[in-house]
Amino acid sequence: MRHATWMFLAAVIVLGWGLGGCGSPVAEHLAAVQTIPGGGEGGWDYITIDSSAGRAYVARSTRVMVISLGGQGLVGEVADVAGAHGVALAPTQNLGFATSGKDGTVNVFDLKTLAALRKIPAGQKPDAILFDPASRKVFAFNHGSGDVTIIDPANLDAAPVTLAVGGTLEFGVTDNAGRVYVNVEDKSEVAVIDSKQGKVIARWSVKPGAQPTGLAIDVTHRRLFVGCSNRKMIILDADCGKLLGDVPVGSGVDGVAFDASLGVALSANGRDGTATAVAEFAPGQFAAVQTITTAKGARTVSADLGKHRFYFPCTQPAKSGKGEFGLLVVGPPAKK
């Protein structure tokens, strides 16, 4: 009863006050509002949203599925990605980059045709991957070898740079201004990379969190939202690493996403089949304001920035009785 009362009071505070003068929007009630069909066999990992093209790129075991956000379903697939984990987009070069965990490569493909162009050697078990606008480089985080493969999309013939970090690397984010952050799962820390100089400049503990996996960033207010395996979301100052918040979330977190227009970070609690919404209700004060029902196994998530939508890859029940893969969309319900 005490927990339920606290959740209610926290929601009232956030809905009534917004983010306590931080300049962010007021948090809204969220719910599952749509399911986008995808189909196909196999597991999945990270999802990358291309808002301008209205597409979602989903890593699916042996390939990358490209799904229309407009509800038209499957657009196409990037084939031959053994142990697919994540996708980064470099739109200026019209290139996509997919991590291939089983053969230790990054697969480069054409964003328009989805045709495979080449494989670039990476470290062991490349996992998450991102494009950093400040350095104009692609950063592939190698889960197995504890290093980062840095690729120049404008010069694919150049040998990639390997940056040693150490530990088991998980998800990474960029602040778009020269810093890249990556979770180091086995060390319970976040490593900070100067993306232009290509070097590690800080290491920040996430304790009392443990084994961080999901990571999101509020670039405006300089917050990192770290999803941890011990059912905590840790909030750090993105400039100095100061612990700002320690919020309970659900079980099985592997992804966190932040939407600035809503002022909310969502953790994807795949084991529970829920998502926890976390907001800053006063400067430096955070609370879980809502628990949203998603689906069992919905452990990764990505936000369509500025469009009030979060996308969860998952299997949804079908009329045939067999679950069908698709994207569960969470956002504010349509006003009647």
Query: What pLDDT does 214 receive?
Result: 98
The total domain count for the chain is: 1
Kindly report the backbone phi and psi dihedral angles of residue 5, in degrees, each rounded to the nearest multiple of 5, phi listed first. -65, -45
Q: How far apart are CA 57 and CA 50, in angstroms?
A: 8
Residue 13 has pLDDT above 80, yes or no: no
Asked, for residue 152, whether it belongs to a domain, the answer is yes
Asked, for residue 336, whether it belongs to a domain, the answer is no
Q: How far apart are CA 333 and CA 336, in angstroms?
A: 9
Q: Residue 106's closest CA among 178, 161, 49, 180?
A: 161
Lowest mean pLDDT among 5-14, 88-97, 307-316: 5-14
Straight-line distance from the first to the last Cα atom of the chain, in angstroms, rounded to the nearest whole number:
32
pLDDT in tens, 252-285: 999 999 999 899 999 999 999 999 999 998 888 9
- Tokens representing 265 are 């970070």
- Tokens representing 32 are 């599952």
Asked, for residue 266, whether it belongs to a domain, the answer is yes
Asked, for residue 166, whether it belongs to a domain, the answer is yes
Contacts of 237 (CB under 8 A, 6+ apart): 222, 223, 224, 244
Model confidence at 130, pLDDT cuts 50, 70, 90, reads very high
Domain that holds residue 305: 2-331
Asked, for residue 326, whether it belongs to a domain, the answer is yes
Model confidence at 71, pLDDT cuts 50, 70, 90, reads confident
Sign of dihedral through CA atoms 140, 96, 46, 192?
Answer: positive
Query: What pLDDT does 322 receive?
Result: 72
Mapping DSSP to helix (H, G, I), strand (E, B) and coil, where does residue 91 land? helix
Q: What is the DSSP letter of 167?
A: S
Q: How far apart are CA 326 and CA 314, in angstroms?
A: 6
Give the CA distances from residue 170 to residues 72, 179, 185, 247, in Å, rounded to whole numbers and listed in that order: 32, 16, 6, 20
Q: Give the whole-number percent of the chain exceeding pLDDT 90.
A: 82
Residue 319 has pLDDT above 90, yes or no: no
Is residue 172 left, alpha or beta, with left meaning phi > 0 and alpha meaning psi from -120 to 50? beta
pLDDT in tens, 193-234: 999 999 999 999 999 999 999 999 999 999 999 999 999 999
Domain containing residue 269: CATH number: 2.130.10.10
Query: How many beta carbons lie within 10 A of that of residue 124, not counting itself?
Result: 13
Asked, for residue 130, whether it belongs to a domain, the answer is yes
Asked, for residue 69, whether it belongs to a domain, the answer is yes
Q: Give Rg (Cα) of the chain.
A: 19
What is the pTM (predicted TM-score) of this model? 0.91
Contacts of 165 (CB under 8 A, 6+ apart): 146, 147, 148, 182, 184, 191, 193, 200
Residue range 148-171: average pLDDT?
98
